[in-house]
């Protein structure tokens, strides 16, 4: 009986303490889990470039990339990181004068992230709108759309196909984007139901267009929307990482996989093991 309890304890012990952060490091910020190579605080808690900051001035506390202002909503060990990204907008009054404008941009230069091409779409909203996104640093491109619609009645909820809402795919591998918003008539013909043009990169699984967004986007969704980044251990591929990366990221019982953004590698536990593959002994045998 005693032996049985002891065996059970021994068996449960590593499970109960299995942490996804380094030993002695903070694993959670609010309800967001921070798995190594990400880490908070002491330099020993994160791999170089993967530091995040937990700011307790907010209730619940908020997590930020580096020491910056980009808010992190979720980190997945499988190579994605979701951030809260500010939308771009240009708004006009009845006489066609610009009354407010915010043209957002994000620069991830020298950081191990790119904008995910699989999750994100460039999305523009407006009925007198010319929206352009210019990507650079890793992959140069320019894309966008131009829309004119003259009545809210033509807009179809849930359908982002060019009437009041348009979406385009983006390529993989770029680290910076800039946004431009223009219009043909300063929204003067549509100001009754649409006085702003909007442009943003967004997780397309999250965003579902509604005609109400043409007048109330920020009331309905805030001025920040979720955007997905791909992260990777950059500079090496699986062909040379284990021999050339002096700081090879994959721990025991794990294997290297080339990252989907083409800029580096990721690690995953070998078949039959589970845990955090970026910790030395993070991958533990299942039983
Ligand atoms: C964290 O909590 C907020 C509400 O406090 C919730 O909306 C969000 O989904 C939670 N995130 C996770 C990863 O559980
Ligand atoms: C936390 O956020 C507050 C409010 O934005 C800011 O004033 C403060 O500098 C931040 N603290 C840290 C440690 O970043
Ligand atoms: C955060 O990421 C984890 C791991 O990928 C996932 O299981 C969870 O559903 C995500 N939470 C949110 C709020 O996106
Ligand atoms: C994104 O940021 C805005 C503004 O700071 C905040 O109100 C909103 O709750 C954040 N979104 C999430 C999902 O945390
Ligand atoms: C679209 O959705 C909004 C609110 O979400 C609603 O007020 C409007 O009537 C809907 N339009 C159509 C054509 O269903
Ligand atoms: C998007 O919203 C429309 C109504 O506004 C709804 O019919 C549709 O099911 C929604 N789609 C998703 C994927 O949530
Ligand atoms: C639109 O606005 C711009 C700048 O606010 C102004 O220079 C231009 O004359 C306006 N055009 C029309 C058609 O109102
Ligand atoms: C390792 O391989 C990557 C491509 O996968 C290449 O860009 C890099 O230069 C190589 N590094 C070394 C040290 O061989
Ligand atoms: C892998 O495990 C072996 C024995 O369990 C240990 O000697 C070695 O140091 C470990 N290697 C790493 C990279 O943790």
Structural domains present in the chain: 24-77 (no CATH), 86-223 (no CATH), 235-286 (2.10.25)
pLDDT of residue 218: 80
Asked if residue 104 has pLDDT above 50, the reply is yes
pLDDT in tens, 1-16: 444 444 444 444 444 4
pLDDT band at 269 (very low <50, low <70, confident <90, very high): very high
> What DSSP assignment string belongs to the chain?
-HHHHHHHHHHHHHHHH--SSPTTS--EETTEE--TTSEESSGGGS-TT-EEEEETTSSS-EEEETTSS-EEEEEETTTEEEEEEEPEEEEE-TTS-EEEEE--EEE-TTSSEEE-TTTEEEEEE-SEEEEEEEEESSS-EEEEEEEE---GGG--TT--BSSSEEEE---SS--EEEEEEE-SSTTTTTTTT--EEEEEEEETTT----TTHHHHHHHHH-SEEEEEEEE-EET--TTTHHHH-TT----TTEEEEE-TTSSEEEEEEPTTEEE-TTSTT-EEE--
Q: How far is the CA of 245 from the centre of ligand 9 (A)?
A: 18
Asked if residue 129 has pLDDT above 90, the reply is yes
pLDDT in tens, 10-68: 444 444 446 899 999 999 999 999 999 999 999 999 999 999 999 999 999 999 999 88
Ligand nearest to the CA of 246: 8
**Whole-number mean pLDDT of the chain?**
91
For ligand 1, mutation pick of 30, 31, 80, 84 (most atoms within 8 Å of CB): 31
Asked if residue 214 has pLDDT above 70, the reply is yes
pLDDT of residue 165: 97
pLDDT of residue 69: 87
Ligand nearest to the CA of 212: 5
Q: What is the percent of the chain where pLDDT is above 70?
A: 93
pLDDT in tens, 141-197: 999 999 999 899 999 999 999 999 999 999 999 999 999 999 999 999 999 999 999
Asked if residue 249 has pLDDT above 80, the reply is yes
Contact 186 CB / ligand 7 (< 6 Å): yes
Q: How far is the CA of 130 from the centre of ligand 7 (A)?
A: 14
Atom of ligand 8 nearest to the CA of 245: 13
Contact 146 CB / ligand 1 (< 6 Å): no
Contact 74 CB / ligand 1 (< 6 Å): yes
Range 257-264 average pLDDT: 92
Asked if residue 89 has pLDDT above 80, the reply is yes
């Amino acid at each position: 009986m005693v032996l049985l309890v002891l065996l059970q304890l021994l068996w449960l012990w590593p499970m109960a303490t299995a942490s996804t952060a380094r030993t002695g490091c903070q694993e959670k910020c609010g309800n967001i889990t921070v798995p190594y190579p990400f880490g908070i605080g002491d330099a020993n808690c994160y791999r170089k470039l993967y530091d995040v900051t937990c700011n307790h001035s907010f209730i619940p506390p908020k997590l930020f990339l580096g020491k910056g202002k980009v808010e992190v909503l979720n980190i997945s060990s499988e190579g994605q990181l979701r951030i809260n990204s500010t939308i771009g907008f240009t708004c006009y009054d009845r006489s066609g004068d610009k009354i407010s404008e915010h043209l957002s941009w994000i620069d991830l230069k020298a950081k191990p992230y790119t904008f995910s091409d699989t999750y994100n779409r460039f999305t523009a909203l407006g009925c007198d709108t010319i929206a352009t996104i210019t990507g650079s640093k890793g992959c140069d491109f320019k894309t966008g759309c131009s829309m004119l619609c003259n009545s809210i009645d033509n807009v179809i909820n849930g359908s982002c196909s060019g009437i009041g809402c348009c979406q385009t795919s983006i390529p993989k591998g770029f680290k910076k984007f800039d946004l431009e918003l223009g219009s043909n008539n300063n929204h003067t013909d549509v100001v009754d139901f649409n006085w702003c043009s909007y442009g943003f990169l967004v997780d397309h699984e999250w965003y579902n267009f509604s005609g109400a967004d043409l007048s109330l986007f920020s009331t309905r969704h805030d001025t920040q929307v979720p955007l997905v980044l791909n992260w990777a251990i950059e500079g090496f591929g699986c062909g040379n990482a284990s021999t050339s990366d002096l700081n090879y990221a994959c721990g025991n019982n794990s294997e290297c996989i080339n990252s989907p953004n083409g800029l580096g590698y990721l690690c995953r536990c070998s078949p039959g093991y589970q845990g955090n593959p970026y910790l030395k002994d993070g991958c533990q045998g299942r039983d």
